[in-house]
């Protein structure tokens, strides 16, 4: 196998199912998130109806205030519910379109590594990078943001790496074969995320499209990064 190969191709049946399952999971989470706003608007409209009902059924009830309050709640809740419904439909259509985009051509990377080091972003946004050293001395750079939230990061790698990315640059497949390659940890790790002298920080070049290759990596302590 060449040191580094990159090609575009159509997704396999298994990759399509993985992408669709993730899409279904994202849409379900979106529905759960959007349901809360719709419930609140429904309760507002219902509260308005209760206030209007009390206006006619209860003696001594402040009719003027109840009428104004009830009408406002019904109108605001009803209009908000309709607007929220349209917003929800738009968000779901966007999510479906995103899944279809992911189902387009996938990108497959194959490379052989000698070592792997993790370094943190100096921006403090929680992003970190896997720096996979090739035999030529160059590095394949993989951002933690390439992983789906449900995926676990590998604690150890192997020399032969096959990586498949969907149309939105999210890892669909990470296949590791060959000799074991331990990860050299230099990133800030949970649970305390405490920065020590052993940690290294690095920011990729602005023109680098991830995943990508760099000729060298100048990973430094955080104070050296921020003062540079």
- Per residue in 127-170, pLDDT (tens digit) is 999 999 999 999 999 999 999 999 999 999 999 999 999 999 99
The pTM of this model reads 0.75
Q: What is the structure's pLDDT at 65?
A: 56
CB 215 within 8 A of CB 138: yes
Q: What is the structure's pLDDT at 55?
A: 54
For residues 104-119, average pLDDT = 95
- The per-residue pLDDT of the chain, averaged, comes to 83
DSSP characters over 132-162: EE-TTS-EEEEEGGGS-TTSPPPSEEEEEEE
**DSSP 8-state assignment for residue 203:** -
pLDDT digits (tens, 9 = 90+) for 23-55: 999 888 888 876 655 555 555 555 555 555 555
| Sign of the C-alpha dihedral computed for residues 9, 12, 15 and 16 taken in this order | positive
Q: Where are the alpha helices (DSSP H) in the chain?
A: 13-57, 63-102, 222-227
| Sign of the C-alpha dihedral computed for residues 31, 32, 37 and 39 taken in this order | positive
| Sign of the C-alpha dihedral computed for residues 69, 75, 81 and 83 taken in this order | negative
- pLDDT exceeds 50 at position 1: no
CB 128 within 8 A of CB 121: yes
Q: What is the structure's pLDDT at 102?
A: 95
Angle between helical axes of 63-102 and 13-57 (0-180°, round to 10)? 170
Cα–Cα dist 160/112, whole Å: 5
**DSSP 8-state assignment for residue 7:** E
Q: What is the structure's pLDDT at 222?
A: 84
Higher pLDDT, 205 or 89: 205
Where residue 107 falls among pLDDT bands split at 50, 70, 90?
very high
């Amino acid at each position: 196998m060449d040191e580094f190969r990159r090609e575009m191709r159509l997704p396999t049946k298994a990759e399509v199912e993985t992408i669709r399952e993730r899409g279904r999971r994202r849409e379900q989470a979106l529905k759960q998130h959007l349901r809360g706003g719709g419930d609140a608007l429904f309760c507002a409209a219902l509260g308005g109806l209760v206030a209007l009902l009390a206006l006619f059924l209860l003696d001594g009830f402040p009719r003027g205030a109840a009428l104004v309050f009830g009408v406002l709640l019904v109108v605001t809740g009803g209009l908000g519910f309709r607007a929220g419904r349209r917003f929800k439909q738009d968000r779901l259509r966007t999510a479906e379109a995103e899944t279809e985009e992911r189902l387009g051509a996938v990108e497959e990377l194959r490379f052989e590594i000698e070592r792997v080091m993790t370094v943190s972003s100096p921006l403090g946004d929680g992003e970190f990078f896997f720096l996979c050293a090739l035999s030529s001395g160059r590095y394949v750079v993989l951002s933690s943001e390439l992983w789906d939230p449900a995926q676990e990061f590998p604690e150890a790698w192997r020399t032969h790496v096959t990586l498949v990315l969907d149309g939105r640059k999210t890892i669909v497949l990470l296949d590791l074969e060959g000799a074991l390659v331990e990860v050299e940890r230099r990133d800030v790790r949970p649970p305390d995320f405490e920065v020590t002298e052993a940690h290294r920080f690095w920011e990729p070049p602005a023109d680098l499209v991830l995943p990508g290759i760099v000729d060298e990596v100048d990973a430094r302590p955080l104070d050296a990064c921020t003062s540079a």
